[in-house]
């Protein structure tokens, strides 16, 4: 059952739409290198598309009705978008869910130190990474510093051509004989992922003069004291913009495509819906890369509470109706899949791998080894989705994450399935997943967007 390459089916109109979508997607990647930046960008797009803040609706006492569009933000790191359909919400929603956090390095709370005339920021890596991939790369600092007086300072250093950049240093090959004998997991240790931020001493300072020079710069530019690191959220990410890749420009290479490729296409699909029968929802959450925990992760009550508030604003809320709504919902847990890589063919089972250019990927199950931690969607739901995709001329494929017993991974799917709703993993195939620079196919980005529109319309 080999799937066709979607590129072969495109006409000029398709190609024009594809390029326009991918151009906007690259813009999103450039503006959204952290969860906060993603939410801020999506909120602006939502407002342009006619969405209102659910908090404002609640305060005004206005009753929501079919056709209304609202959004709710959770701690500036997660967002839920809703377009109310013509069918009773108690019958369920069509939900697109994705995550907007990505592997990176986080600056510790007491990070700044000096060693042998160098100043460093101490970090703790976030999510599953190959630590050796993060050395000697141009890096940028993104995030916020919250001061005691309540002021929150936005920080972005390393993206503008006039900005300085940062890096994690590595041992030169001439002295690396012992290092090269280590296993890949130990070549670079987690505590070695410290960011070089300065080497110039502050004049007339005898004790930690380089560190004090860095602090003087932070004070002058951002009015930040060393103590302010205690209430900062600073993320270290690759510096640079999303770029077209390949001589044919058929691919996109960028940081954070897991899972912002699904987040953007899901949101874009929502914004392009003129009307819906079943209430449509796009849910973009944080913390998936570390188990969906915390107040902004999928395991929090944010989504459930927000749906309750939505139903209350519609005059439809009761605990039983909320449960019926969630149980009657359909969901695409939109997360990326591992693209088949001929250079590492031994990790894949070719009949059940995801391929570049063959469309959106459905994963009946994820998990690891004996499907541990998997949602495992039911056959009837997959049959329904097959018809929707075919009826809407969406290129799709099915896959699993590598060979049995090789490894595996998880998504937010199993968490939503606890409500009794139908959920399946669906997303875009990615090369270099979790590396600083990941690669996707423009065709797959386009087909994902088409699939999400078809799902919201027909599920």
Q: What is the pLDDT of residue 370?
A: 75
Query: In the sheet that 93-99 helps form, which strands lie side by side, from edge to edge?
Result: 52-53, 69-74, 78-83, 279-285, 93-99, 330-334, 422-427, 360-363, 396-398
Q: Which helix (H) or strand (E) holds 80?
A: strand 78-83
pLDDT at 352 over 80: yes
Q: For residue range 441-459, what is the model confidence (pLDDT) as tens digits?
A: 999 999 999 999 999 999 9
Beta-bridge partner residues of 367: 409
What is the average per-residue pLDDT within 144-168?
A: 97
Lookup result for tokens 């939109």 = 334
* The three-state (H, E, C) secondary structure of 160-220, written as one string: CCCCCCEECCCCCHHHCHHHHCCCHHHHCCHHHCCEEEECCCCCCCCCCHHHHHHHHHHHH
The CA-based dihedral angle spanning residues 192, 198, 203, 207, taken in that order and rounded to the nearest 10 degrees? -10
Q: What is the pLDDT of residue 410?
A: 75
Read off the pLDDT band of 365 (50, 70, 90): confident
Distance set, CA 28 to CA 41, 64, 421, 455 (Å):
7, 30, 30, 23
Q: For residue range 255-308, what is the model confidence (pLDDT) as tens digits?
A: 999 989 999 999 999 999 999 999 999 999 999 999 999 999 999 999 999 999
Could you give the CA distance from residue 201 to residue 98 in angstroms, rounded to a whole number? 45
Helices (H), 63-126: none
Beta-bridge partner residues of 196: 120, 167
pLDDT at 411 over 90: no
What is the average per-residue pLDDT within 336-356?
A: 93
Q: For residue range 203-237, what is the model confidence (pLDDT) as tens digits?
A: 989 899 999 999 999 999 999 999 999 999 999 99
Question: Nearest to residue 113, comparing CAs of 100, 124, 122, 104?
Answer: 122
Residue 188 CB-density burial (10 A; 0-12 exposed, 13-18 middle, 19+ buried): buried
**Backbone φ, ψ for residue 3 (5° rounding):** -90, 150
Global pTM?
0.96
Structural domains in the chain, CATH included, are 6-102+255-458 (3.40.630.10), 104-238 (2.30.250.10)
Could you give the CA distance from residue 311 to residue 233 in angstroms, rounded to a whole number? 34
Helix (H, G, I), strand (E, B), or coil: what is residue 107? strand
Percentage with pLDDT > 90 across the chain:
91
Could you give the CA distance from residue 448 to residue 102 in angstroms, rounded to a whole number? 19
Q: What angle in degrees, to the nearest 10, is found between the helix axes of 257-271 and 442-458?
A: 50
Tokens in use for 300?
């929090």
The CA R_g of the chain, rounded to the nearest whole Å, is 23
Beta-bridge partner residues of 78: 74
pLDDT at 413 over 90: no
pLDDT at 2 over 90: no
> Are β-strands 360-363 and 396-398 bridged in parallel, bridged antiparallel, or unpaired?
parallel
Could you give the CA distance from residue 18 to residue 425 in angstroms, rounded to a whole number? 23
Read off the pLDDT band of 317 (50, 70, 90): very high
Beta-bridge partner residues of 112: 121
- With a CB cutoff of 8 Å and minimum separation 6, the contacts of 6 are 357, 358, 359, 395, 443, 444, 446, 447
What is the average per-residue pLDDT within 182-202?
A: 96
Largest CA distance in the chain: 74
Least confident of 29-43, 224-238, 362-376: 362-376
Q: For residue range 41-91, what is the model confidence (pLDDT) as tens digits?
A: 999 999 999 999 999 999 999 999 999 999 999 999 999 999 999 999 999
Question: Nearest to residue 159, comparing CAs of 76, 253, 45, 236?
Answer: 236
Distance set, CA 77 to CA 95, 188, 306 (Å):
19, 30, 15
Lookup result for tokens 């960008």 = 41
Could you give the CA distance from residue 97 to residue 426 in angstroms, rounded to a whole number? 10
């Amino acid at each position: 059952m080999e799937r066709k390459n979607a590129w072969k089916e495109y006409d000029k109109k398709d190609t024009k739409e594809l390029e326009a979508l991918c151009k906007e997607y690259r813009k999103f990647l450039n503006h959204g290198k952290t969860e906060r930046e993603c939410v801020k960008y999506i909120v602006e797009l939502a407002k342009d598309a006619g969405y209102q803040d659910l908090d404002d609706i609640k305060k005004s006492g206005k009753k929501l009705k079919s056709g209304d569009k609202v959004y709710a933000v959770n701690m500036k790191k997660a967002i839920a978008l809703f377009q109310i359909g013509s069918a009773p919400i108690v019958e369920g929603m069509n939900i697109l869910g994705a995550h907007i956090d990505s592997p990176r390095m986080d600056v510790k709370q007491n990070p700044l130190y000096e060693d042998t005339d160098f100043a460093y920021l101490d970090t703790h890596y976030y999510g599953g990474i190959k630590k050796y991939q993060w050395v000697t790369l141009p890096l940028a600092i993104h995030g916020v510093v919250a001061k005691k007086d309540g002021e929150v300072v936005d920080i972005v250093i390393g993206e503008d051509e006039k900005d300085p950049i940062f890096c994690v240093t590595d041992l030169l090959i001439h002295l690396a004989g012992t290092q090269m004998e280590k296993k890949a997991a130990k070549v670079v240790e987690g505590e070695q992922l410290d960011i070089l931020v300065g080497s110039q001493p502050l004049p007339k300072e005898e004790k930690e003069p380089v560190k004090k020079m860095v602090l003087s710069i932070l004070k002058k530019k951002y009015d930040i004291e060393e103590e302010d690191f205690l209430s900062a959220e600073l993320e270290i990410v690759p510096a640079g913009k999303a770029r077209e890749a390949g001589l044919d420009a058929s691919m996109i290479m960028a940081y954070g495509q897991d899972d912002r490729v699904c987040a953007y296409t899901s949101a874009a699909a929502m914004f392009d819906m003129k009307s819906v029968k079943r209430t449509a929802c796009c849910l973009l959450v944080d913390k998936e890369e570390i188990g969906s925990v915390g107040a902004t992760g999928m395991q929090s009550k944010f989504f459930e509470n927000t749906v309750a508030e939505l139903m209350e604003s519609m005059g439809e809320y009761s605990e039983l109706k909320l449960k019926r709504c969630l149980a009657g919902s359909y969901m695409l847990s939109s997360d990326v899949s591992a693209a088949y890589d001929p250079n590492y063919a031994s990790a894949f089972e070719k009949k059940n791998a995801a391929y570049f250019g063959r469309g959106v990927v459905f994963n009946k199950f994820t998990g690891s080894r004996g499907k541990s931690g998997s949602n495992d969607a039911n056959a009837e739901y997959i049959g329904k989705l097959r018809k929707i995709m075919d009826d809407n001329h969406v290129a799709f494929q099915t896959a699993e994450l590598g060979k049995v017993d090789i490894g595996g991974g998880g998504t937010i799917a199993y968490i939503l399935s606890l409500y009794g709703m139908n959920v399946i993993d669906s997303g875009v195939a990615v090369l270099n997943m979790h590396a600083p620079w990941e690669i996707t196919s423009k065709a797959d980005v386009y087909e994902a967007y088409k699939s999400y529109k078809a799902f919201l319309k027909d599920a």
